[in-house]
Chain A
Amino acid sequence: MRRLADLPEEIPARIRALRASPPLRRRLLALGVRPGVEVRVVRRAPLGDPMEIAVGDTLIAIRHAEAAGVELED
């Protein structure tokens, strides 16, 4: 199973499910991170964590631990 946390940069993938605590899931959904949409890792921060992802027209900073709960389609 692929996770957003391990997705290499600039390779688009589709989100399958959000396995996150309810508050985090709500924050993710509010920003447009949801099952079925395409996500792309733009870059990782200079210290390796967090990373910047693009969902639709939105750029989002997300920590490695948080991205580990975002499951991707194979």
Chain B
Amino acid sequence: MGCPDCEGGAATATQVEGARIVTVGNPNTGKTTLINALAGSDLKVGNWPGTTVERLEAALRLPQGEVRLVDLPGAYGLAPTTPEEALTAQELLRNPPDLVVNVVDAGNLERNLHLTLELAELGLPMVVALNLMDEAAAKGYTLDPAALERELGVPVVPLVASRGEGTEALLQALAHAAVPRLQVRYPDALERAAHELARRLDHPASRWLALALLAGEEVPLELDEEALALARGLRAELERAGIDPFLEIENARYTRAHELAQGTLVGAQPRLTLTDRVDRWVLHPLLGGPIFLLGMLLAFRFTFLFSTPWVDFIGTLQEVLAGWIQHLPLPPLALSFLADGLVGGVGTVISFAPVLFFLYLALAFLETSGFLARAAFIADRMMLLAGLPGRAFIPLILGFGCNVPAVYATRILTSRIDRLRVALAVPFMSCSARLVVFTLFAAVFFPKQAALVVFALYVLGMAVGILSAWVLGRLAGQPPSTGLMELPPYRLPTLRVVIKQAWARTRSFLEGAGGPILLAVLFVWLLLNLPPGDLEHSLYARAAGWLAPLFAPLGIVDWRLLGALIPGFVAKEVVVGTLAVSYLGAEPTAALGFLQGLGQILATLWASLLTTLGAVPALVGFPQLAPPSPDAPTALQAALGAALGPAAALAYMVYVLLYTPCVATVAAIKNEFGRAWALVAVVYELIVAWALAWGVYRLALAWLGG
């Protein structure tokens, strides 16, 4: 790509070596796919410092030398309407890159070129990557990239990034990057004002800044008061002359973008696209709802079918390690600390990894394929009841799988208040860990209606969550949320990128929450084992005793039931294990020979691999909706049956459903919203749980008696 026309526009030839290059483009233009195609295995996924916005970076080795490539978040324009757009504008203005690669969707020229024209006002060397040429062709569009190149005065490279086509040409074109010659011409009065203001601003992007100030936008730069006063004066002058600068600027840009698009689009024979055909079913008035639910169910089945064998494998590793530790010449208390505290804690942390990884994989797939936006479209009406945008449905429904990724999934919401109130509602969604507790209690106290009781608990959790989001929205004096969003075309995600993103998110969780989870496990171990000896005289039993007066109004008095709520903070399924230990006594950890242990590890590894492979056909099989059939009452079930009545059992289940989020979820809330909000979440949910459990207990007493 020579770009002979660029010479006049560019003041200097672009120095490629050592350059900092950014990719900028509208959302859903395949920027992520492009950077992956360029970088291959050198792609690094992380977060923008101090934010929760994902950041992709790569170092590219080119013939001219090494360059650094950073992907800026998708933006429709540089006057931000979302946190992502604000970040992009900030980066471009405060920390101007050496070169901008503007990624343009070839199948949606007009709207994409609107951003291109805005970028042209930044005064930075640019290259246009005309991506998704295959989709444009499928739409029946014929494009003339050379015509666009002539108009803009920068290299324009046609690409199909998903197939790696055109990436070489793009890299070569970097050397010919130029400051765009094309500038939008605004109405005279506006042009004069912009010129006067721009002269006063000492910045390469002075033209863009002047226009933004005239339009009344906040700009992400510290400007001196004199310049701001001049901007206000000029703006007032224009308004007095009957000119709305904001509308006039938008209008001029769109008109120019329209002409540019018309000049580039040499032929259009509109055809029915894949998106049209798929949406006919996915958004069908009658079938849309069921297809949506089926899609969500499939995502869950995928996550649990694939992660369960690996969680089991980690469990075996833990057991074998604990078995080996018994050979160490140490006192029993030290052995228990190593085996139950340390190995148990690290095991708990690591066992989150498979669930999170596969859930993130499913989420990334739904997101990049375009399905997520459709789900939000269908659920929007329901979410409007809670004053939330349709997208809020995604974190809430994810909460049924695991609250941790659900908290992180609140990032898909644009307003911070929405993110926060959804994150506070997420822990009320009954995650799979709580199901273990429910099935145990339901089988003991409501053997005939076990499934109904468990179902009712799920519904209760959801209702409390939505109500909570609504109330918090009201309290915050929240303006009505917006349902406005783009429905992007359906696309097959690039597997490698999706896997990398899922792994980066899982890793960042392990790094951020690993410490707190480990500490919580060690703390519970201390409670259970100090002073050494009988559990009944431990700190644990004493702490449970302190709780007793608080829980008397709920009909729960047995210290063993109350105590089990404490380790439930680590993970809710631990409640069952702790109950078993306190009612039936702990089973001593058996020492394990080295070879015997190794054999167990290998056997479980093999079994996990087989089960994972076997999960592929199971994925499309019929889902098992019925809960597992109850076995003959175990010793634990008998002990529980004797310890409390059905009304108190219901109260206990409701309390376990709603009380404090597990430590991993608290850590996730802390990472996303800060320490104070994590504390608020714990206190808030403890109070809500107690109040509802009390209500249910009184109702059940009146109804069931005792």
Q: Which residues of A contact B (CB under 8 A)?
A: 23-24, 26-32, 34-36, 42-50, 52, 56-63, 65-66
B250/A34 in contact, CB under 8 A:
yes
Docked Cα-Cα span, A44 to B250, in Å, equals: 29
Specify which chain A residues have a CB less than 8 angstroms from the CB of B250 in the assembled complex.
29, 34
Query: Are A50 and B480 interface neighbours, CB within 8 A?
Result: no
Q: Given A44, A45, A59, which contacts B486 in the complex, CB threshold below 8 Å? A: A59
- 6 closest A-B pairs by beta carbon, nearest first, are A47-B381, A30-B76, A63-B483, A57-B108, A59-B487, A32-B111
Residue from A23, A32, A34, A57 whose CB has the most chain B CB atoms within 10 Å: A57
B596 on the A face (CB < 8 A): no
CB proximity of B288 to chain A, nearest CB, Å: 4
Q: Are A57 and B111 in contact (CB under 8 A)?
A: yes
- Determine the distance from Cα of A38 to Cα of B524 in the docked complex, in whole angstroms: 64
- Shortest distance from the beta carbon of B668 to any chain A beta carbon, whole Å: 28
B378 touches A27 (CB 8 A): no
Q: What residues of B have a CB within 8 angstroms of the CB of A42 in the complex?
A: 279
A50 and B81 within 8 A (CB): no
Indicate if the CB atoms of A52 and B377 lie closer than 8 Å. yes
Q: Assuming the A-B contacts A59-B275, A60-B486, A60-B487, are A45 and B381 also in contact, with contact meaning beta carbons closer than 8 angstroms in the complex?
A: yes
A45 and B110 within 8 A (CB)? no
A60 CA to B488 CA, complexed, in Å = 8
Q: Are A63 and B384 interface neighbours, CB within 8 A? A: yes
Contact yes or no, A65 B480, CB < 8 A: yes
A47 to B288 CA separation, bound complex (whole angstroms): 10
Do B114 and A32 have beta carbons less than 8 Å apart? yes
- The verdict on A52 contacting B487 (CB below 8 Å), with A46-B288, A47-B382 known, is yes
CB proximity of B435 to chain A, nearest CB, Å:
29
Q: A57-B111, A58-B108, A60-B487 are in contact. Are A66 and B482 (CB under 8 A)?
A: yes
Choose from A30, A34, A46, A57 the contact partner of B378 (Cβ within 8 Å): A46
Please, which residues of chain B bring their CB within 8 A of the CB of A52? 279, 283, 377, 487
Bound Cα distance from A35 to B390, whole angstroms: 27
8 Å CB contact of B483 from A35, A36, A46, A50 = A50
Q: Write out the residue numbers on chain B whose beta carbons fall within 8 Å of the beta carbon of A60.
A: 484-487
**Subset of 13 A-B contacts with CB under 8 Å:** A26-B79, A31-B484, A45-B380, A46-B288, A47-B381, A48-B381, A49-B381, A52-B377, A56-B108, A59-B489, A60-B487, A61-B373, A61-B484
- A26-B79, A48-B381 are contacts. A31–B486 as well, Cβ < 8 Å? yes
Q: Classify the interface of chain A: helix, strand, loop or mixed.
A: mixed
Number of interface residues of B (CB under 8 A): 40
Q: Which of B139, B286, B380 contacts A61 (CB 8 A)?
A: B380
> Does chain A have a CB within 8 A of B49?
no
**Distance in angstroms between the alpha carbons of A28 and B486 in the assembled complex:** 10
Given contacts A46-B289, A60-B485, 8 further A-B contacts (CB under 8 A): A49-B381, A56-B110, A59-B489, A60-B484, A60-B486, A61-B376, A61-B486, A62-B483
Verify B251–A34 contact, CB threshold 8 A.
Answer: yes
CB-defined contacts of B77 to chain A, threshold 8 Å: 30
Instruction: For B283, list chain A residues within 8 Å (CB).
Output: 43, 45-46, 52
| Chain A hits for B483, CB < 8 A | 50, 61-63, 66
Q: Which partner residue on chain A sits nearest B115 by CB separation? A: A30
Contacts of B180 in A (CB 8 A): none
Q: Is the CB of B395 closer than 8 A to any CB of chain A? A: no
A27–B81 Cα distance when bound, in Å, is 7
Q: A61 to B110, Cβ gap below 8 A? A: no
- A22 to B586: give the CA distance in the assembly, Å: 64
- Whether B617 is near chain A, meaning CB under 8 Å from some CB there, is no
Of the residues A26, A36, A45, contact of B377 by C-beta under 8 Å? A45
Q: Is B285 part of the binding interface, using a Cβ–Cβ cutoff of 8 Å?
A: yes
Q: Measured between alpha carbons, how far is A32 from B26 in the docked complex, in Å?
A: 12
**Do residues B111 and A28 form an inter-chain contact, with CB atoms below 8 A?**
no
For A36, the chain B residues whose CB sits under 8 A away are 251
Contact of A58 with B381 in the complex, beta carbons under 8 Å: no
Which residue of A23, A29, A31, A34 has the most chain B CB atoms within 10 A of its CB atom?
A: A29
Please measure, in the bound complex, the distance between the C-alpha atom of A62 and the C-alpha atom of B377, giving whole angstroms. Answer: 9
A56 to chain B, nearest CB (A): 5
- Assembly CA distance A47 to B286 (angstroms): 9
Q: Which residues of B contact A56 (CB under 8 A)?
A: 108, 110-111
In the complex formed, the residue of A with least CB distance to B112 is: A57
The residue in B139, B288, B381, B489 that gathers the most chain A C-beta atoms within 10 A of its C-beta is B381
Q: Which residues of B contact A63 (CB under 8 A)?
A: 380, 384, 482-484
| A residues less than 8 Å from B285 (CB atoms) | 43-44, 46
Cβ of A57 to closest chain B Cβ, rounded Å: 4
Alpha-carbon distance A49/B384, docked complex (angstroms): 10
Q: Is the CB of B378 within 8 A of A45?
A: yes
Give the distance to chain B from A55, nearest Cβ to Cβ, in Å.
8
Residues from chain B with Cβ under 8 Å of A26 in the complex: 79, 81
- Residues of chain A contacted by B377 (CB below 8 angstroms): 45, 50, 52, 61
CA distance A45 to B382 in the complex (A): 11
B107 is an interface residue with CB less than 8 A from chain A: yes
How close is A42's CB to chain B, nearest CB, in angstroms?
8
A67 to chain B, nearest CB (A): 10
Contacting pair A66 B484 (CB below 8 A) = yes
Q: Name the residue of chain B whose CB is nearest to the CB of A64.
A: B483
What is the CA–CA distance of A10 and B111 in the complex, to the nearest angstrom?
22
Closest Cβ of chain A: how far from B658's Cβ, in Å?
28
Q: B110 and A32: CB pair below 8 A?
A: yes
Contact status A31-B76, CB under 8 Å: yes
Contact B380 A46 (CB under 8 A): no
Name the A residues within 8 Å of B489 (CB-CB).
Answer: 59
Chain B residues, CB < 8 A from A43:
279, 283, 285
- Choose one: A23, A34, A46; the contact of B254 (CB below 8 Å): A34
Expressed in whole angstroms, the minimum distance between the Cβ of A31 and any Cβ of chain B is 6
Write the nearest CB–CB distance from B22 to chain A, whole angstroms. 20
A24 vs B414: C-alpha distance in the bound complex, in angstroms? Answer: 13
A residues less than 8 Å from B384 (CB atoms)? 49, 63
Distance (Å) between the CB of A35 and the closest chain B CB? 8
Interface centre among B275, B377, B480 (most CB of A within 10 A): B377
| Contact (Cβ within 8 A) B482 A27 | yes
Q: Whole-angstrom distance from the CB of A44 to the nearest CB of chain B? A: 8
Does B111 contact A58, Cβ atoms closer than 8 Å?
A: yes
By a CB distance below 8 angstroms, the chain A residues around B480 are: 65
A28 CB contacts on chain B under 8 angstroms: 484
Chain A nearest CB: distance from B209 CB in Å? Answer: 18
How far, in angstroms, from A14 to B427 measured CA to CA in the complex? 46
Chain B residue at smallest Cβ distance from A32:
B111
Considering the chains assembled together, what is the distance between the CA atoms of A34 and B529 in angstroms? 68
Contact residues in A for B380 (Cβ distance below 8 Å): 45, 49-50, 61, 63
